[in-house]
Amino acid sequence: MTQPDWYERLRDLLNGLYSEAQSAELLQTFESALAAQSDESERGALLEYWLEFFALQRFRQQKRRRRPTYDERIVPCSACGYPSSHRHHLWDVATHGENQVTLQLCANCHELFHLTYNALVRKSAYSARIARHTLHSDRLKPGVPLKILGWVLATIRYEASSGWIDGAAGSKENVERQLRWSSFVTTDANAHAAKHS
């Protein structure tokens, strides 16, 4: 790596991690340390170490979840309308880092999203059992499970199109097998008909 290459790469990394003044001070420190190093191989090893170190720092920073703002927390749940919510990442933070592909869900709907996803994608018997229990509890507002399932299926389609998971996780057969969806739909329809009669 030539001097301009490492300098540009290091400057980009530092600018992404620190203020302009801190970044400039660190670059000056590196320039002084490298100028004092007469052995070319030692200089190269030193550069390689610090470039890897700051690249790892940037990676960790990108993967860190941003704390939700007050205004985000008081937005109603997109699924049920509860007056405070969590910011749910449709593109998982662990995979994509902090991103804007989010929707606002209350704690219960957020949990149901993850239970449904884990039941369908990870074939988690535990998650499937809790999701089925919740679906058949007759405590959910009409339309909420369908919205959540739609978001889960959209996430599965996106992840399958990127080659990360098997698209069959979102098939009607898998939804039926893991969640007993047709049984829920029948129970849900009967419960709502009884409430309105």
Per-range mean pLDDT, top range of 34-43, 101-110, 129-138, 180-189 = 129-138
Closest CA to 134 of 152, 104, 108: 108
What are 9-67's pLDDT values in tens digits?
Answer: 888 888 887 888 888 888 888 888 878 888 888 888 888 888 888 887 776 665 555 56
Burial label for 111, CB within 10 Å (0-12, 13-18, 19+), is middle
Rounded CA-CA distance 118/127 in Å is 6
The residue that leads in pLDDT, 71 or 149, is 149
Per-range mean pLDDT, top range of 29-43, 79-93, 174-188 = 174-188
Task: Tell me the CA distances in angstroms from 101 to 93, 104, 155, one per residue in order.
Answer: 10, 11, 10
Q: Retrieve residue 75's tokens.
A: 């937005």
| pLDDT at 1 > cutoff 60 | no
State residue 4's pLDDT score: 60
State residue 134's pLDDT score: 94
| pLDDT at 193 > cutoff 80 | no
What are 132-163's pLDDT values in tens digits?
Answer: 999 988 888 889 999 999 999 999 998 899 88
| pLDDT at 178 > cutoff 90 | yes
pLDDT band at 169 (very low <50, low <70, confident <90, very high): very high
Rounded CA-CA distance 136/196 in Å is 18
- Average pLDDT score, the chain: 83
E-only strand ranges, the chain: 86-89, 102-105
State residue 154's pLDDT score: 93
